[in-house]
Structure 1
Amino acid sequence: MNHRTRVYLAVAFTVALFLGVQLGALALVDPFQEAGHQAVEDPDDPTNSAVYFGIILGATALMLVTFKYDVQWLIKAMIIGVSVMLAWFVFAELVPPVVTVGEVNALAALAALVVGAALLFYPEWYVIDATGVVMGAGAAALFGISFGLLPAILLLAVLAVYDAISVYRTEHMLDLAEGVMDLKIPVVLVIPTSLSYSYLASGSTDGVLEDDDADSDDGSTQVDGSNADAVGESSADDATPNPDDSDTDTDELSEAEQERDALFIGLGDAVIPTILVASAAYFLDVGTIDVPGIALNVPALGALVGTIAGLLVLMYMVLKGRPHAGLPLLNGGAIGGYLLGALASGLSLAAAFGL
């Protein structure tokens, strides 16, 4: 399989994972509402966004502290526990209650426990990705029915700015990404570019995010593009008027790209913009699209398509080796697509913003 084909397949697989989260969330919107999973009393209160952002900051700080003091097992235990909880929420709505113990759907509970066991004992890339889609769909649906339109848009805008600052300025998100990758937990989605790739066998990801190390030992790279960018910067610094040297630099970069066996993208990059997709589907009763099994309208479809458009630009930047933050593109695409869909459905801008 040549390099170009591997790249196209990796991009297609990434899009499929995002669509899995988005369509899964849309399928769970109505069941979650009927089950009473709305997390706040007033979903239209803009302060909900501030509270959630504060929780994100606290969780980020906690994770960085655990990595600093070498108690990462605590984070792994927490994430696996959250995975089981979200899987239970999802399976309780999707798995028929054929076997029950009291009021508990035994098959759904068993499936959730299997998810936890798989993450604990065999966190291969397809286990991580499958769990990530289930978790992402569940989380996006929960927040989608809990955040009205204005709080959802505010949340996406604030997190886009925060993501840019944490990647480009403080760079603490890069430290966080490297730490969680070593734990092999579903806070990242793993996109193999080689049929022989094994996340379990890849070992430590030390150096994956370092600027002075273009490629990790296992041939993987992060979606922030820092590794490939390090190669690009080195080529630019050493550039000479000799065209042969330029060709050599290009060949070396292509060879480095071909050695990468996997790309990684944060699960939050799929979940956060999908919150607006689910929120639009739940809180707006305009431009309804009749699709069996999911709640969908034109504004929600616009947010979905806008997210995928942002993802394609993001993947283009990854493969070109440009440093970047994901949420500005993804959230920007979701908000832009949502607003276009809302206007196309006859809503005013004020109504689209939930005012």
Structure 2
Amino acid sequence: MSSENKSIQEYVPMLVMAGIILVVQVIALLLAAPMAANDMRAFEDPDSAANSILYIIFVLAFTFVLLMAIKRNMKWIIQLTILLAVGATMYYVFFALLSIANISSLTNNVISITVAAVLTILLYKFPEWYVINIIGLIIGAGASAIFGISLSILPVVVLLALLAIYDAIAVYKTKHMIDLAEGVMDLRLPILFVIPKHLKYSFIQDSFKKEEGQKREAFFMGLGDAIMPTILVVSANVFLVEKYGIELLAGFITIPAIAAMVGTIIGFIALSILVMKGKPQAGLPFLNGGVILGYIAGVLISGTPLY
């Protein structure tokens, strides 16, 4: 294999990751309407910036609990907590989708609970990379849609800015985010996307402990890297229409939302270039910064209100 072909091949996983982010964003946009119709908002007042502070406090508290569980070798607490959260999020996603079919609430609940439970059990019993990725797409899009319809644009921008700062501190300064990632990796939960370098790769059999100079067989991307920028994409699509009656292109998306998606990918490309140079990077400063700048560019292009 020539060095040029090898170089191109090395960037294929990054293209796949960018594709995953776009898929999460598109699915989240599709989920936003039925979730809003079923009043699945996480906060009563979407315009309150205090919601962003509450979210950050929750993230800090949850991270502290996870780190304590790892330190005390009580990883079962992490596994149970995340599996319950995964099951609950999938339930909301399937309930929202099935509500479009106008079936009875009882039937919808039975089907949604059953499917969510089966997928959660499958994840627990057989956490192979494709199972994790499929469930990751579902919960990533679901969580993005829920928070996107729960927070209007200004609180989302505040939240993303704060999370970008926190992620930078957690990766470059305290480094506890790296410790957290290493601590939960062997639990094989859908807190990340797995992009294998070859189809024979098994996430279940991967020990994650490589000898010096030995390369990993897969690339990994945190689920939050797809969820956080997508919250602004959804919010820009929901609240600009709700507040100002902005016209949707093709009856689906606003120009600022499209620009926010483009900004996310540009931020991801910048992140990928540095990562491929062998420099570990915090993802959210690039992704959140990209989606915010993209949104602002979309506002300027379309002439819509900023928030």
Tell me the equivalent position of 2:249.
289
C-alpha displacement at 1:13, in angstroms?
Answer: 1.5
User: 2:32 matched to 1:76?
Assistant: no
Tell me the equivalent position of 1:269.
225
C-alpha displacement at 1:141, in angstroms?
Answer: 0.5
C-alpha displacement at 1:131, in angstroms?
Answer: 0.8
What is the correspondence of 1:307-322 to structure 2 with a 5 Å cutoff? 307-322=264-279
Percent identity over the alignment? 42
Amino acid at match of 1:17: I
User: 2:114 matched to 1:110?
Assistant: yes
Tell me the equivalent position of 1:27.
30
What is the correspondence of 1:214-229 to structure 2 with a 5 Å cutoff? 216-217=210-211
User: 2:186 matched to 1:182?
Assistant: yes
My pick for the range that moved more, 7-16 or 141-150, is 7-16
C-alpha displacement at 1:189, in angstroms?
Answer: 1.1
**Equivalent in 8, 12, 15 of residue 9 of structure 1:** 12
Contact kept? 1:29, 1:141, Cα under 8 Å: yes
Tell me the equivalent position of 1:221.
none
C-alpha displacement at 1:132, in angstroms?
Answer: 0.8
Q: Distance in 2 between matches of 1:26 and 1:144?
A: 9
What is the correspondence of 1:40-55 to structure 2 with a 5 Å cutoff? 40-55=43-58
Tell me the equivalent position of 2:153.
149
- Deviation sequence 1:35-78 (CA, Å, 0-9, x none): 01112121001111000000000000000000000111111111
C-alpha displacement at 1:185, in angstroms?
Answer: 0.4
C-alpha displacement at 1:181, in angstroms?
Answer: 1.0
Contact kept? 1:99, 1:105, Cα under 8 Å: no
SS in 1 for 2:249: coil
Amino acid at match of 1:30: A
**Equivalent in 314, 326, 334 of residue 291 of structure 2:** 334
Unaligned runs of 5+ in 2: none
- Deviation sequence 1:266-318 (CA, Å, 0-9, x none): 10011011110010000002352115xxx411111111111111112212222
Contact kept? 1:189, 1:265, Cα under 8 Å: yes
SS in 2 for 1:191: strand
C-alpha displacement at 1:105, in angstroms?
Answer: 4.0
Q: Distance in 1 between matches of 2:37 and 2:73?
A: 42
- Deviation sequence 1:113-152 (CA, Å, 0-9, x none): 1210111100001111111110010000000011111100
Amino acid at match of 1:33: A
What is the correspondence of 1:83-102 to structure 2 with a 5 Å cutoff? 83-95=86-98, 102=106
SS in 2 for 1:43: coil
My pick for the range that moved more, 70-79 or 5-14, is 5-14
Root-mean-square deviation (CA, aligned residues, Å) is 2.0
SS in 2 for 1:264: strand
Q: Distance in 1 between matches of 2:14 and 2:191?
A: 19
> Aligned pair in 2 of structure 1 residues 311, 98: CA closer, same or farther (>3 Å)?
same
Tell me the equivalent position of 2:281.
324
> Aligned pair in 2 of structure 1 residues 99, 184: CA closer, same or farther (>3 Å)?
same
Q: How many residues align?
A: 299
**Equivalent in 157, 169, 192 of residue 173 of structure 2:** 169
SS in 2 for 1:183: coil
Q: Distance in 2 between matches of 1:101 and 1:42?
A: 26
Contact kept? 1:97, 1:107, Cα under 8 Å: no
Contact kept? 1:99, 1:106, Cα under 8 Å: no
Tell me the equivalent position of 1:237.
none
C-alpha displacement at 1:168, in angstroms?
Answer: 0.4
C-alpha displacement at 1:106, in angstroms?
Answer: 3.1
Q: Distance in 1 between matches of 2:174 and 2:186?
A: 21
My pick for the range that moved more, 150-159 or 187-196, is 187-196
Q: Distance in 1 between matches of 2:247 and 2:258?
A: 10
Unaligned runs of 5+ in 1: 207-215, 218-230, 232-255
SS in 1 for 2:154: helix
Tell me the equivalent position of 1:245.
none
SS in 2 for 1:284: helix
SS in 1 for 2:303: coil
Greater C-alpha radius of gyration:
1
Q: Distance in 2 between matches of 1:71 and 1:176?
A: 13
Contact kept? 1:188, 1:264, Cα under 8 Å: yes
Q: Distance in 1 between matches of 2:295 and 2:105?
A: 43
Q: Distance in 1 between matches of 2:206 and 2:275?
A: 20
- Deviation sequence 1:221-277 (CA, Å, 0-9, x none): xxxxxxxxxx9xxxxxxxxxxxxxxxxxxxxxxxx58x3311111100110111100
Amino acid at match of 1:59: F
Contact kept? 1:300, 1:338, Cα under 8 Å: yes
Q: Distance in 2 between matches of 1:312 and 1:344?
A: 22
Q: Distance in 2 between matches of 1:323 and 1:9?
A: 18
Q: Distance in 1 between matches of 2:144 and 2:273?
A: 25
